[in-house]
Amino acid sequence: MKHQAPKGTRDFYPEEMAWRRHVEDAWRKISIRNGFEEIDGPIFESLDLYKVKSGDGIISELFHFQDRAGRELAIRPEFTPTLARMVAEKAASLPRPIKWFAVPNFCRAEKPQRGRLREFLQWNVDLIGIDGPAADAEVIFTAVDFLRELGLKPDQVAVKISHRDVVKRVLSRLGVSDDAMLGAFDLLDRRDKIEHEQFNAQAQTLGLDEPTIERFNQVARVRINANAPWHDIQEKIAVPDEDLHDLEALHKQLHAFNIADWCEYDLGIVRGLAYYTGTVFEIHEISGAERAVAGGGRYDRLIEMFGGPTLPAVGFGMGDVVLTNVLEDRGLIPDEVAPPVDIFVVAAETAASPLVTQLISQLRSAGFHARQTYRTTTNVGKLLKEANQSRARFFAVLDQNTIDHQTLTLKNLKSGEQTHIHLNALPVHLKSP
């Protein structure tokens, strides 16, 4: 019987694992240099934890089970409930602000498709304890900092930004009642997933007349680069300036962080999750061919839902699946991301073979990434080919001179330069660029 990995999961062979570690290392590097500290939690939690945030409807999206004591548990589909639980548990003793990040793996019981798997990695970044647009902009900056680190540019990806309070004020002016507001938000959230006629038909159910529906449609689809002067942005959105003061405050901070060219305002971005309370944003590949690379926003009332104090909070999540698709499409995945091999050591004569093991062990003990062949041949040409395949920086050949005079032949596989050196001088050469 042939066994396969479960549908919607991945096997990570050395090449795929090297890429995974490359992404994870970049996430950690960017998080730390922006002042965030790493945390993690259990891979499964009480099922009720997820129901607190998302209601009973979340159950169908989870892999859940009963343990031997009959407790209802679920494999984590996201990190925010765990984060909220951890903050609530030690809120009184945690220094403010709380700047945490995590790089967990998650599982969701949904249909696998391009950009969405049942098991995936996700980078979570959260800033808790500071209200206002400066914190929102700092979190967005952290995401942009990562995109730049991996070689993406503002003409390839965009941070689409909105504000739920702004959208609510705009919709109220259009005649959407408080009772119909959630329906309007849901419709905006599905704006790009349904046809124009279907969008208009569903907008009509909100109690709007035909001219207002058209205005609703315009508001839902206007996109304005944040690099433009604020007056031009206000004119294009075409709503009273007092309705936009939250976005205007954020606008100033985006310019202060010098990331406005990465950002655009899009009032159709509302993020369907009900716990968002202010700024919301999604990062999209510019052509729109992929799902969102990342998404997040402000969630000021979530911590108290888990028994903690009222704490302002803002954060985002970025999955590895869509990110990898975008980088592949843009030709930004390096040819080699595995840790470099410093040296490949071989024996050109059988008598020198024992010295290979001795040298390899000494180099490894000194902190070098040293490899040797496991083939029985002493054919230097074949062994050189193997060394090149391993992407080693240097190729060392031990022979009778090594036995008699403690010297070896060292070849720089990048420059092609070849020299004869004493064994004691080898570490100095390996430390050279």
> Does residue 297 share a domain with residue 152?
yes
User: Has residue 63 been placed in a domain?
Assistant: no
Give a yes or no: residue 198 inside a domain.
Answer: yes
Domain boundary pick from 302, 329, 356? 329
Which of these ranges, 70-74, 97-101, 170-174, 280-284, has the smallest mean pLDDT?
Answer: 170-174
Nearest Cα to Cα of residue 391 among 365, 414, 411: 414
Distances (CA, A) of 308 to 44, 299, 300, 301, 305: 21, 14, 12, 10, 7
Number of domains making up the chain: 2
Is residue 308 located within the same domain as residue 359?
A: no
Residues 346 and 422 in one domain: yes
Cβ-contact 287, 303 below 8 angstroms: no
Q: What is the CATH number of the domain that holds 400?
A: 3.40.50.800
Q: What's residue 229's pLDDT?
A: 92
Predicted pLDDT at 23: 97
> Same structural domain for residues 369 and 255?
no
pLDDT at residue 241 in the model = 82
Give the per-residue pLDDT at 295: 96
310, 427: one domain: no
- Mode of pairing for the β-strands spanning 313-319 and 119-128: antiparallel
Last residue of a domain, one of 306, 329, 352: 329
Same domain, 346 and 319: no
**Is 388 in the same domain as 307?**
no
pLDDT per residue as tens digits for the range 112-122 = 999 899 999 99
**Do the domain assignments include residue 6?**
no
Q: What's the rounded mean pLDDT across residues 201-222?
A: 82
Residues 189 and 277 in one domain: yes
The yes-or-no verdict on residue 183 having pLDDT over 90 is no
Contact 270, 164 (CB under 8 A): yes
Higher pLDDT pick, 388 / 221: 388
Q: What is the average per-residue pLDDT within 305-332?
A: 95
334-339 contact pairs (CB < 8 A, 24+): 334/22, 336/391, 337/18, 337/19, 337/21, 337/22, 338/14, 338/15, 338/18, 338/391, 339/18, 339/369
Assess if residue 210 is contained within a domain.
Answer: yes
User: Whole-model pTM?
Assistant: 0.91
Q: How is 102-118 classified by DSSP, letter by letter?
A: E--EEE--S--BTTB-S
Regarding whether 231 and 113 lie in a shared domain, the answer is yes
Work out the average pLDDT over 289-314: 94
Q: Which of 298, 329, 360 is the last residue of a domain?
A: 329
CA distances from 30 to 8, 333, 377 (A): 29, 18, 46
355 and 262, same domain (yes or no): no
Contact criterion met (CB below 8 Å) for 73 and 46: yes
Give the chain's mean pLDDT.
Answer: 93
One-letter identity of residue 115: G
Answer whether residue 54 is part of any domain.
Answer: no
The string of DSSP letters for 49-63 reads: HHHHHH-GGGGGGS-
CA nearest to 34, candidates 268, 316, 337, 322: 316
Tell whether the model's pLDDT for residue 272 goes beyond 90: no
The domain in which residue 413 lies consists of 341-431
Residue 258 lies in a domain: yes
- In order of 8, 213, 296, 347, the CA distances from 59 in angstroms are 18, 35, 22, 61
Do 308 and 245 belong together in one domain?
A: yes
**What pLDDT is attached to residue 326?**
96
- In sign, the C-alpha dihedral spanning 121, 265, 331, 389 is negative
Q: Which residue would you say has higher pLDDT here, 430 or 178?
A: 430
Contact, 343 vs 370, CB < 8 A? yes
* Residue closest to 360 by CA, chosen among 327, 336, 325, 392: 392
pLDDT tens-digit readout, 112-167: 999 899 999 999 999 999 999 999 999 999 999 999 999 999 999 999 999 999 88
Would you state the structure tokens that stand for residue 68, as one six-digit string?
């031997």
